[in-house]
Structure 1
Amino acid sequence: MRALDSLSLTALPAADEALRGPVRAFVQHAVAQLPAHVRARSWGGYDDHFTREAGRRGFLGLTLPKEYGGGGRSAYARYVVVEEFLNHGAPVGSHWIAERQSAPLILKYGTQEQKRFYIPPVCRGESYFCIGMSEPNAGSDLASVKTRATRNEAGWTLNGQKIWTTNAHRCHYMMALVRTSGSSEDRHKGLTQVIVDLKLPGVTVRPIIDLSGDSHFCEVFFDDVQLAPGAVLGGEGDGWEQVMSELAFERSGPERIYSSIVLFDEWLAYVRTPPGRTPESVRLAGKLLSQLAPLRAMSIAVTGKLTRGESSAVEAALVKDLGTAVEQAIPALIADDLFRRPEGDVPLELLRTLTYVTQVAPAYSLRGGTRDILRGMIARGLGLR
C-alpha cells in the first residue's frame, strides 16, 4: 500500500476554480445547438473553429510556459478547463493529444528549436498531433516495436506501420516510437521518439471505420520517409523512458472518468421528470454518483502530484482502470433501466446517445493502456510482483 500513500485528497485552488465560470459560458454557447448524441463524441469530436477559439481565449496550453505561448499556470487550472469541456461534450478531438501530451513532452525533452517551433501553434489551436505507439500484431506490447528509423546523410529514413492512431487523418504531426538500433528482441533498448510531419512523401494514412460509423482511429504507413536530423525528440535510445512519461500525461486526466458523462447527464435529466422517475432509477443514480465522486477526488489528487512534480504513474494507472470500469458500466446500467420501460416512453435523443456510447464503450479499456497492462503496473507499484 505504500505506493499509494501519497495520493492525498485535495481541493482545487480558488484561483483555478475561478476559471470555471468563463470556460463554462464559452462551452455552453459553443455546443448549444449540438444534440446529445453528437456531444457524446467529445474527445473524439473534431471542430477546427472551436479549437482555435479556445486557443484565442487562452484555454489551451495552460500549463505550458508563457515564453512558448502557454498560460504558465498549474495542472489544476487545466483540470478545470478539461472538466468543463468534457462535461458539456465539447468537440475537443482536434487539439486533444497535442495539448494534453505532445506539447508537454516536447517541453520536457525537446531542443530549444523544437520548443519554439512546435509548442506555440499548439497553444493557439493551430497544430494537431497524433501518437504512433501501437503496431499490428503487437497488442499492448510497445517494446516489440518494429517500425525503424535508419540514419542516413540527410537525417533518417523511416519505414514501418502504426495502428489505432487517433485522428491521424486530421493531424499535422505524429509523435512516433520507433526503433533506431537493434531488433524487437532487444525490448526497451534502441527505441527512440521522432516527430513525423504527416505531409511528407511516403506517409499514407487510412482511417478505420468503427461500429458507430466514426473513423477516428487510423492505420499509418511509412515507406522510405525522409526525416530531418532534428526529427528526433530527446536522446536517441531514450524512447522507452520518454513514452512512460508521456503515458502519465495520458492516464491522469478527468477524461478517464467522463467518457460517458453526456449520456449520464441526459439520462439524469429524464429521471428528474415525472415520466422518467422510478424507485429503481433513483437508486441507480445514487449508485453511479457515489462512484463518480470518489473517482473525481482521486483524479484531482493525481493532478496534485503532477503539480508538485512528483511521479504519478501508478496512481494514474489506478484511476484510469477504475474510471474505465465506471465509464463502461454507465451505458450498460442505463440500458437496463430504459429497456424495462414501456415502448415509446423514452426520449429518442436519449436512445440515440445510449446507442452511440454503447458502441464505443468497449474501446475505453483499450485506449491509454489495457486493463492487464494497468493492473500489472499497479501490482508492481504495490510491491506485489
Structure 2
Amino acid sequence: MDLPAGVVDAVRDDLVSSPGALTPHRVAEALRRAGRPVGDATVLAVHDALRRDILGAGPLEPLLRLPGVTDVLVNGADAVHLDRGAGLELTDVRFPDDEAVRRLAQRLAAAAGRRLDDATPYADLRLADGSRFHAVLAPVARPGTVISLRVPRARQFSVPELVAAGMLTAGGARLLAAVVAARLAFLVSGGTGSGKTTLLAALLATVPPGERLVVVEDASELRPDHPHVVGLEGRPPNIEGAGAIDVRTLVRQALRMRPDRLVVGEVRGAEVVDLLGALNTGHEGGCGTLHANSAADVPARVEALALAAGLGRDAAHSQLASGVDLVLHLVRDRDGVRRLREVAVPVRDERGLVRMETAVRFERGGGETTGPATETLERALAGLA
C-alpha cells in the first residue's frame, strides 16, 4: 500500500516520544493524534514500514533472503542492486530518502557496537548473522549514503560442485586434490568477487579430518566443512577507539595453537610478514587469499605489503620463494562465471627476485595448456622439490 508522504515519519516521531513496544494499537493512536486516516489497511501498512525500519536489514531483508544472493548494494535512496552470481541486477527496492538509508546504516553499525556519524562517516564490520557490512555516509559518498552487504553462504561448495559450476575442470580438481594431499603451501589470488574464498573453503574441506586448521581472518567468511577448525577473527576499535585486534596479532597467536595448517583468510597488510615467516619455519600446507590482477602480479603485491610492514625487498622475495609453493589465480569472466585460470610457481631470477612461471593454464572452453613450470610443480607434488 502506498502511504502519503510524511505519514511514517510523523508516526515515528510520535512513538519515540514515549517508551513502549511497536504494536498496531500504538500506531493507530499515533495516527489519530496526527489527524491521519486510521483504517486497518493504513495502520498495518505503517506498522509494517516501521517494523522493517527497526528490525533486521529493513527493506533489504527480503533481498538478503533470496536464494543465491551474494551481495546487496545500496547506492543512495533510489538504487539498490543485488548479485546472484551473474552480475549486478537493479531491484525494485527504494528508500523514501537518503535519511532513511542513513538511519538503516547507523542502526546496523550500532548493533555491532560501532560508531557511524559525521565524525566517523564509514564503518566496516560483521553483523550477527555473519553478513559483511560496509557503509559510507553522505556527503562523503555520492549519490547518497552507500551500503554494501556481503551475504554468507548457507553452506559451502564442495570441489565436485565447483567442477559442475565451471570454476574447475576435472583435471584442475585432480591437480588441486594432489596439492592439498602433498601439503604444499599456496596462495589463492584474484580480483574482488572472483571466488577466492569459495575455492579455498572447498579445498580446506578436503584436508584429512585428523589435521587441525587454524583460520585467521579480518572478518569471518571462511567456513570450511571440516571437523577441526579453529577460527580467529580480528576486531575493530569500539566506540571509544579502544580494543582493536589486528590480523597480524592473531597470526602470531595462531602459531602457538599447534596448527597443522595455518590459513589467513585474506592477506592484506602486515600479516604477510608473519605468514611468510610461518611458512618458512616448518608449517606446511599453509594458505591464504590475496588480491592481485594476475598470478604474475603476486610477487609485486607481496613485496608492497611486506615493505609497508618493514620487511626489505630482498627478504620479502626470499621468503616468498622458499615459503610458497604455488599460486592459484582465479578470474571472473564477463558472463559472471568464476573459474581457475592458472596455476603458477614462484621462481627466483639471477637477482634473487621472484617471478611467477605458469605450470598449467586453464582455457575458457575447458582446455588445458602446460607452461614452463610444469616439471617444477610435478617435482613439488612428488616431494622432490
Asked if these proteins are the same fold (TM beyond 0.5), I'd say: no
Normalising by structure 1, we get a TM-score of: 0.25
Higher-RCO chain (CA-CA 8 Å, sequence separation at least 6): 1
Larger radius of gyration: 2
